[in-house]
Amino acid sequence: MATAHSNLGGSIESSLQSQDSVRSDESRVRSTGPMGSWESELTSIQHALKFVLALKDEFVCPVCRGVVLNPQQNSCGHIYCFHCLQGLLETSPPSGPVCPVDGAVVTPAEVFQDNCCKREISNLEVYCTNFPACTSVVTLHRLQDHLSSCPYEQLQCFNVGCRAALQRRHLQEHLSSTCPHRTEPCPHCQKPLPLSLIQDHVLTSCPDVEVHCPSCSQKLPRHKLKEHRDSCPEVQVSCSYQRFGCCVQGQRARVKLHEDAAVNHHMLLVLKSNTHLEQQVEVLQEEALQRQQEVQTDGSLLDGLQQEVRPLLQQTSNHERIICTAQRTLSRHEDVLSTVQLEVQQVSRALGPGLEELEQLRKSLDAVIQEVSETEALKEHLGTLEENLKRHSGLLDLHAAQLHRNKQHLQELEATSYDGRLIWKIDDFSRRRDAEVRGQPPSLSSVPFHTGRCGYKMAAKVYLNGDGEGRGTHLSLYVVLMPGDFDALLPWPFRQTVSLSVLDQSGAANHRSLSFKPDPASKSFQRPGAESVSNIAVGFSCFIPLDKLETPHNATYVSDDTLFVKVKVDTAGLEQL
């Protein structure tokens, strides 16, 4: 047999016979490149191959008894499959692997790939593995290419959940017509789904299937059912004046007739609710007065606590000085005590005329101990004073916080207006305008005001450094509509004339005023959404130039760094509820 040597083990000297050399050679055989793709794919059907001509013995692997794939030749001349040789090396005894035919030692360094034998084997003719159904005859290295297109090859169905195995020629029909797990479009929405899920999809979730409304039995597509329920005349609803005390419930159409017919009754309910709100306002005003009295009481208590704390702070300072003095005295006495102890030792040795001096030293020692005790007592008293100081400081902070909250709540109650007018005092004008120039905050908003007890809720907004086309050159002034408690009873859109003014503080009454009449088509004057903070602001981006505002000729708009803004709503023709 031809021997086209391709040494797999590399250049290793044959004289190395030690166990370490054998193991190293085995490792190099294992690391040889894998078989060709057609040989590796034939490994699973190696023993099922049927050759046209009888297979020669030299092409039969002595290990697996199948046709040799990727032949490797030993020094004894026998040929093995690549993967059979690897198994032989891995399972060999400590003495080393041997040839299963003649018992010759298999030395990995002497094993090589027999390319000549490989070419001969790859050109052997073989029947298709689906013989006799398929009568094709191909060379061994082309067998896998033939099987990839053979119509008689057994293939697994591609659909998830289907375990059917069919010949390639029947697979397409199975996939498109007979497979119970195939994908089909929904007959209504055309969404592709597994056949087994289409019926459940149609019954429960298909958006295009027509279903009956549970209230009026009207038939409509499922995806329009929710929209239909919002307008279905048969749906059970409550009267829109339920929050005012109306208890009527029923079908939407009947409730609508009730709302149109019971306007007077509903107005009475609203007025009753309004009366209750006025009573609540009176109660809040009484509470505000009571809170003001509490603030005054807290202020008096705060002053008393401050007066109590000052002597404590003074005492603490005095005690600290006493402690420092005592510590210095204690240090000196400790030095004296050390000296006395040394002298006592000397006197003890002498045991003579120094007895009187020893008695004096003992008295000095007792005096030192007494002073130390007094110092410790001062330390304990100082700790008690510090705890009292911390407790009084905490009470002082609590009263100060409560005082601030009461003042803030009182200011909000006092600023509320119900006559359609707002006088807004803006102090710290220069600081606030400089903050806007730097970009924070961009605008200021006033407290809300109302056109009546049950009227529109509004607020003013000002840009001290201008907004839009007036940025940096003018003061911009706007007004906004806000969601109110009585919006359902008020006419919309808002149509009342609004006047905006910057007030002259010189006494000459040269106020700067501009007015506008609302545009009914603008969204800014429609009813505000219940979940929104306010509508879009409306007003004048170039209300007054900044140079005329700060240095006018015949008026004083900014005085003591304070600006006054006035908003007036014309309530003529506006019915009071």
The per-residue pLDDT of the chain, averaged, comes to 83
Q: Tell me what pLDDT residue 351 has.
A: 62
Residue 397 pLDDT level (bands cut at 50, 70, 90):
confident
DSSP secondary structure string for all residues of 492-551 = SS----EEEEE--SSSS---EEEEE---TTSGGGSPPPTTSS----EEEEEEEEHHHHHS
Residues 6+ apart with CB under 8 A from 425: 562, 563, 564
CA atoms of 354 and 361, how far apart (whole Å):
11
Q: Tell me what pLDDT residue 514 has.
A: 96
Q: Tell me what pLDDT residue 41 has.
A: 76
CA atoms of 460 and 566, how far apart (whole Å):
9
Residue 491 pLDDT level (bands cut at 50, 70, 90):
very high
* Alpha carbon separation from 231 to 234, 246, 253 (Å, rounded): 9, 21, 10
pLDDT at 7 over 70: no
Reduced to 3 states (helix: H, G, I; strand: E, B; else coil), residue 104 is coil
Element holding 52 (H helix, E strand): none
Model pLDDT for residues 506-564, shown as the tens digit of each residue: 889 999 999 999 999 999 999 999 889 999 999 999 999 999 888 887 889 999 999 99
pLDDT at 150 over 60: yes
Of 43, 80, 48, which is closest to residue 63 (Cα–Cα)? 80
SS3 annotation, 254-313: HHHHHHHHCHHHHHHHHHHHHHHHHHHHHHHHHHHHHHHHHHHHHHHHHHHHHHHHHHHH
Q: Tell me what pLDDT residue 352 has.
A: 60
Tokens in use for 64? Answer: 């697996």
Model pLDDT for residues 180-207, shown as the tens digit of each residue: 878 878 888 888 888 778 778 888 889 8
pLDDT at 269 over 60: yes
Burial class (CB within 10 angstroms; exposed 0-12, middle 13-18, buried 19+) of 107? buried
Sketch out the chain's domains with CATH numbers.
Answer: 39-150 (3.30.40.10), 270-411 (no CATH), 416-569 (2.60.210.10)
pLDDT at 338 over 50: yes
CA atoms of 113 and 41, how far apart (whole Å):
19
Q: Buried b vs exposed e over 166-200: b needs ≥16 C-beta within 10 Å?
A: bbbeebeebbeeebebbeeebebbeeebeeeebee
pLDDT at 503 over 90: yes
Average pLDDT rounded to a whole number, residues 145-158: 87
Model pLDDT for residues 31-85, shown as the tens digit of each residue: 344 455 687 778 778 777 888 888 888 889 988 888 888 888 888 888 889 888 8
pLDDT at 14 over 80: no
Element holding 486 (H helix, E strand): none
pLDDT at 19 over 50: no
Whether omega for the bond prior to residue 493 falls within 30 degrees of 0, making it cis, is yes
Q: Tell me what pLDDT residue 22 has.
A: 34
CA atoms lying within 13 Å on the CB side of residue 567: 30
pLDDT at 13 over 60: no
Reduced to 3 states (helix: H, G, I; strand: E, B; else coil), residue 464 is coil
Cα–Cα–Cα angle for 415, 548, 468, rounded to 5 degrees:
75
**Alpha helices, DSSP H only, in 45-166?**
82-90, 115-122, 143-147
DSSP assignment, residue 222? G
pLDDT at 347 over 70: no
Model pLDDT for residues 297-314, shown as the tens digit of each residue: 888 889 889 888 888 888
Model pLDDT for residues 104-125, shown as the tens digit of each residue: 888 888 888 888 888 888 888 8
Tokens in use for 91? Answer: 């399972």
* Residue 253 contacts residue 232 (beta carbons within 8 Å): no
Average pLDDT rounded to a whole number, residues 253-268: 84
Most confident by average pLDDT, 249-263, 367-381, 482-496:
482-496
Average pLDDT rounded to a whole number, residues 220-243: 80
Q: Tell me what pLDDT residue 326 has.
A: 85
| Distance, C-alpha 201 to centroid of its chain | 34
pLDDT at 415 over 50: yes
Q: Which of 15-19, 228-232, 258-262, 553-557 has the lowest mean pLDDT?
A: 15-19
Residues 6+ apart with CB under 8 A from 201: 186, 191, 193
pLDDT at 407 over 60: yes
CA atoms of 559 and 553, how far apart (whole Å):
14
Residue 386 pLDDT level (bands cut at 50, 70, 90):
confident
Share of the chain above pLDDT 70, in %: 91
525: alpha, beta or left? (left if phi > 0; alpha if psi -120 to 50):
alpha
Residue 12 pLDDT level (bands cut at 50, 70, 90):
very low
pLDDT at 289 over 60: yes
* Alpha carbon separation from 525 to 276, 424, 482, 534 (Å, rounded): 29, 22, 10, 11
pLDDT at 98 over 50: yes
CA atoms of 478 and 525, how far apart (whole Å):
13
CA atoms of 14 and 299, how far apart (whole Å):
108
Residue 354 pLDDT level (bands cut at 50, 70, 90):
low
pLDDT at 26 over 50: no
Q: Buried b vs exposed e over 425-463: b needs ≥16 C-beta within 10 Å?
A: ebeebeebbebbeeeeeeebbbebbbbbebbbbbbbbbb
CA atoms lying within 13 Å on the CB side of residue 539: 29
